[in-house]
Amino acid sequence: MTSKSLDYENLNENVKKCQYAVRGELYLRASELQKEGKKIIFTNVGNPHALGQKPLTFPRQVVALCQAPFLLDDPNVGLIFPADAIARAKHYLSMTSGGLGAYSDSRGLPGIRKEVAEFIEKRDGYPSDPELIFLTDGASKGVMQILNTIIRGAGDGILVPVPQYPLYSATIALLGGSLVPYYLEETANWGLDIANLRQSVAQARSQGITVRAMVIINPGNPTGQCLSEANLREVLTFCYQNNLVLLGDEVYQQNIYQDERPFISAKKILMDMGPPISKECQLVSFHTVSKGYWGECGQRGGYFEMTNISPKTVEEIYKVASIALSPNVPAQIFMGLMVNPLKPGDISYERFVRESKGILESLRRRAQIMTDGFNSCRNVVCNFTEGAMYSFPQIRLPPKAIEAAKKAGKVPDVFYCLKLLEATGISTVPGSGFGQKEGVFHLRTTILPAEEDMPEIMASFKKFNDEFMEQYEDHRGYSRM
Amino acid sequence: MTSKSLDYENLNENVKKCQYAVRGELYLRASELQKEGKKIIFTNVGNPHALGQKPLTFPRQVVALCQAPFLLDDPNVGLIFPADAIARAKHYLSMTSGGLGAYSDSRGLPGIRKEVAEFIEKRDGYPSDPELIFLTDGASKGVMQILNTIIRGAGDGILVPVPQYPLYSATIALLGGSLVPYYLEETANWGLDIANLRQSVAQARSQGITVRAMVIINPGNPTGQCLSEANLREVLTFCYQNNLVLLGDEVYQQNIYQDERPFISAKKILMDMGPPISKECQLVSFHTVSKGYWGECGQRGGYFEMTNISPKTVEEIYKVASIALSPNVPAQIFMGLMVNPLKPGDISYERFVRESKGILESLRRRAQIMTDGFNSCRNVVCNFTEGAMYSFPQIRLPPKAIEAAKKAGKVPDVFYCLKLLEATGISTVPGSGFGQKEGVFHLRTTILPAEEDMPEIMASFKKFNDEFMEQYEDHRGYSRM
């Protein structure tokens, strides 16, 4: 039989090379077990509504009205929709040319991009230009587009933190570029050490790679840390000196669970630093409606803002965006609602604040329960989740467990996570999917299970883990990092 | 000043190379004129709601309820939503795990994929497997994903009809592949001549290109023809013999404006042909919620169905889809509603039929008005729009007009379309954006302006065109194709 175009052996090699662990082997096994009737706790992906988080009422009212504009003329509409939701729906519909069913401009609706710019200005205290803001179908699609604009081939390197969110490794592989890792320091609460960065770039250069961009994820995914102002200054100086465009993945900027280290945007620090750096260093920042206290993942809404990017390049990015015509319009409305929230005095304001504070405060408590839970387990150590939605405990696997994994043909942390899944139904992602130092093992779990379920989940985890350790420890100790 | 990563000269060359005429020079100029206050008739893109088409009521009711699930418990909900919309919203919400705010499986919700499979089975009379159906953010995204899976480099060729929809040329350029054109026969009502195909493949091979896939657009865009059953059989035989995967762009399958040549899917013909071809020939078919009588472009919903593709390849496509997590969920609901419409006896059935028939019948009349209008103009000839949403008249430009265009530094059809835009506000796309035979010129316009505006638009076109011809004709005649 002849081999055909879409037979495996003939596919684009870059497609085959890329890996995406968040929906990899563990997720597929969990889906199978679920089909067989096992109760699965899906903590593999930051998908809050799937774990019971309720959507915020006001934005849903507005988007429902935008979907059904004929309701705006219905005399009974006031019986089930508040007046401010009706007004807001009219506001957003007036920005469209033909409602939610019409393609928007490929960069997104100009009116929403203006609201995003106003949000950024207010957040950072510096001007933001709507013409440099593009709306996207979720932040991931924006990241993919920018990386596609940068990467020309295997000689182009992108600095990516390790551990990292596998969107980056997968996309770089798909585009045929080279991932240049820089390690975050677990013992320094996953801080970024500029010496590691220098070393990574030097090593890449010695291999003939041109490092062209650097990714930061702030707050960190999967690591949960918030970058300090000093750290951000160092990063920007480094990018400036090395002629790198900085990609600032800031999708968790509203998910902060401590007061000592608030979120600060890369754009603000860049502007604070003044010329020449503020006028020279290229930056693209990403945001989303999927995270924060919104968690509107399924809507697929995001934006990116470009700083110090020339009009000619912006035109090229616009051209490529136009091939798929436009980001989905309903999610653009969600983005407008997120960046331009209700104000004190609005009819729905108190409810909105109650709902959003409730979610954030509960996430903060859950971050603490989870960290404490992991740290109470044998051979498990875990930094506190300062921000984002994940806990990333280190699992100190005994040599016998590593041997058993090898025998089973599994990477050791995959082996551990599979056993955890089978025993407890907790679906996590092995640390190897994010990258980790040689011989060190982790897992990532979201902090999203319902607060009332948390104690039981952590008890179930502890029982599994401690028995696992009992089984595989030789009681003679083993090396620690 | 050092040149930076995102400066134009350093960008990915494939990004710079690709062109997307539907939102190219003409669209940008039209947007400028609109800002200056000129009334623009945007017929550059098939965007029905932007030209006044109203959304179908029932699907919008269902999706509005899905966005605001708390309404389902509101005692007043029955005052503004019919019972069948409420039932349908519950039906779709029960398929999600967490409503519209949760990521779905990266292939889309299993329940919707099952409804799509049932629709295909009913349409074609052959089984369809939900596991081989992936939901996408519009059909374009699906096409881009499949082409990315196929194209390995410049040595890989994709057969594309000329004239073609520039999604194909742009995506092939972006992915670094080679477009292999095959010409449609304007004088045979844009039919597909298998001899042209053979010649194209032979020529590509002589240049060292491996032709790996063939694209058909049926009904045609921009050409509007419906492929006959005989033509489809020839195409499938050709693909089978030459080991090509067939990409069937069937997004206009509900837009048919004559009864002689109904839409027939490539899948049906493939199955009709029986083994070995029905079991061997690889096919990927695309559909959307953006066209038909729906026109829900802004929602960005689509699907593709794979036939004779091995599980290993499907896994790879699944993996890549998972990098961006999931297609937007609201549009998945629209897809469900499109493939599983209301049935006689449902409360909202009559309204639904009235609305959808109204749109289709009006489109049919508009297709006729437009064809007749173009054919009444000096030096313009136009095939009837059998299907899809476009009219693609040939404009026989006098030599003097071609000279004037050259002097102005413009491609002749761009020159004509710009003059048309400035004079009348009608924003079209020059034929060169779709490809056309050397020395032959066209423009594409949608048939979407409101029916009541059509006579005036065509009169305005005729006035411009005939004056243009008067100005540039030397009254000594010129060559015709």
Q: In chain B, where does the domain assigned CATH 3.40.640.10 lie?
A: 99-339
Residues 274-303 of B with CB under 8 A from A: 280, 282, 284, 294-300
Tens of pLDDT along A84-122? 999 999 999 999 989 999 999 999 999 999 999 999 999
- CA nearest B300 in A: which residue? A328
- CA nearest A2 in B: which residue? B243
Q: In chain B, where does the domain assigned CATH 3.90.1150.10 lie?
A: 8-52+357-472
ipTM confidence: 0.95
Range B314-319 average pLDDT: 95
Q: Does A24 have pLDDT greater than 60?
A: yes
Residues 148-187 of A with CB under 8 A from B: 148-152, 167, 170-171, 174
pLDDT for position B19: 83
Tens of pLDDT along A396-422? 999 999 999 999 999 999 999 999 999
**Contact assignment for A282 to B6 by CB distance below 8 Å:** yes
First CA to last CA across chain A, in angstroms? 53
Q: Is A55 on the interface with B (CB under 8 A)?
A: yes
Q: Does B75 have pLDDT greater than 70?
A: yes
pLDDT band, very low/low/confident/very high, at B235 (cuts 50, 70, 90)? very high
pLDDT for position B305: 98
Q: Is B260 on the interface with A (CB under 8 A)?
A: no
**Contact assignment for B298 to A103 by CB distance below 8 Å:** yes
In a 3-state reduction of DSSP, which class is residue A121?
Answer: helix
Range B224-233 average pLDDT: 94
Beta strands in A127-234 (DSSP E): 133-136, 156-162, 178-185, 191-192, 210-217
Tens of pLDDT along B200-211? 999 999 999 999
Lowest-pLDDT range of A18-27, A465-474, B128-137, B330-339: A18-27
Residue B25: φ, ψ to 5°: -55, -45
Across chain B, mean pLDDT equals 94
Structure tokens at B101: 């705010």
Range A275-298 average pLDDT: 97
Q: Does B411 have pLDDT greater than 90?
A: yes
**Contact assignment for A299 to B101 by CB distance below 8 Å:** yes
pLDDT for position A480: 45
Three-state helix/strand/coil letters over chain B: CCCCCCCHHHCCHHHHHCCCHHHCHHHHHHHHHHHCCCCCEECCCCCHHHHCCCCCHHHHHHHHHHHCHHHHHCCCHHHHCCHHHHHHHHHHHCCCCCHHHCCCCCCCCHHHHHHHHHHHHHHHCCCCCHHHEEEECCHHHHHHHHHHHHCCCCCEEEEEEECCCCHHHHHHHHCCCEEEEEEEEHHHCCEECHHHHHHHHHHHHHCCCEEEEEEEECCCCCCCCCCCHHHHHHHHHHHHHHCCEEEEECCCCCCECCCCCCCCCHHHHHHHHCCCHHHHCCEEEEEECCCCCCCCHHHCCEEEEEECCCHHHHHHHHHHHHHCCCCCHHHHHHHHHHHCCCCCCCCCHHHHHHHHHHHHHHHHHHHHHHHHHHHCCCCEECCCCCECCEECCEECCCHHHHHHHHHCCCCHHHHHHHHHHHHHCEECEEHHHCCCCCCCCEEEEECCCCHHHHHHHHHHHHHHHHHHHHHHCCCCCCCCC
Contact (Cβ atoms closer than 8 angstroms) between residue B301 and residue B138: yes
Tens of pLDDT along A304-355? 999 999 999 999 999 999 998 899 999 999 999 999 999 999 999 999 999 9
Q: Does B259 have pLDDT greater than 80?
A: yes
pLDDT for position A402: 96
pLDDT for position B419: 97
CATH architecture of residue range(s) A8-52+368-472: Alpha-Beta Complex (3.90)
Range A257-282 average pLDDT: 96
pLDDT band, very low/low/confident/very high, at A357 (cuts 50, 70, 90)? very high
Q: Is B2 on the interface with A (CB under 8 A)?
A: yes
Structure tokens at A198: 């220098």
- CA nearest B320 in A: which residue? A15
Range B172-196 average pLDDT: 93
Q: Is the peptide bond before B69 cis (omega within 30 degrees of 0)?
A: no
Cross-chain CB nearest to B45 (options A103, A213, A297): A103
Look at the domain A99-339 and name its fold. Answer: Aspartate Aminotransferase; domain 2 (3.40.640)
Per the document, the length of chain B is 481
Please state whether beta strands B283-288 and B41-42 pair in parallel, antiparallel, or not at all (unpaired).
Answer: unpaired
Per the document, the length of chain A is 481
Q: Does A481 have pLDDT greater than 50?
A: no
Whole-number Å distance between alpha carbons of A110 and A132: 11
Is it true that domain B8-52+357-472 has CATH number 3.40.50.1780?
no
Please state whether beta strands B210-217 and B156-162 pair in parallel, antiparallel, or not at all (unpaired).
Answer: parallel
Residues 374-403 of A with CB under 8 A from B: none
pLDDT for position B476: 56
Q: For an interface test with B, give the residue of A3, A5, A106 to mutate (most B CBs within 10 A).
A: A5
pLDDT for position B175: 96
Residue A134: φ, ψ to 5°: -115, 130
pLDDT for position B25: 85
| β-sheet bridge partners, residue A332 | none
Residues 414-433 of B with CB under 8 A from A: none
pLDDT band, very low/low/confident/very high, at B475 (cuts 50, 70, 90)? low
pLDDT for position B454: 95
Nearest alpha-carbon partner for B342 in B352, B357, B330, B356: B352
pLDDT for position B1: 56
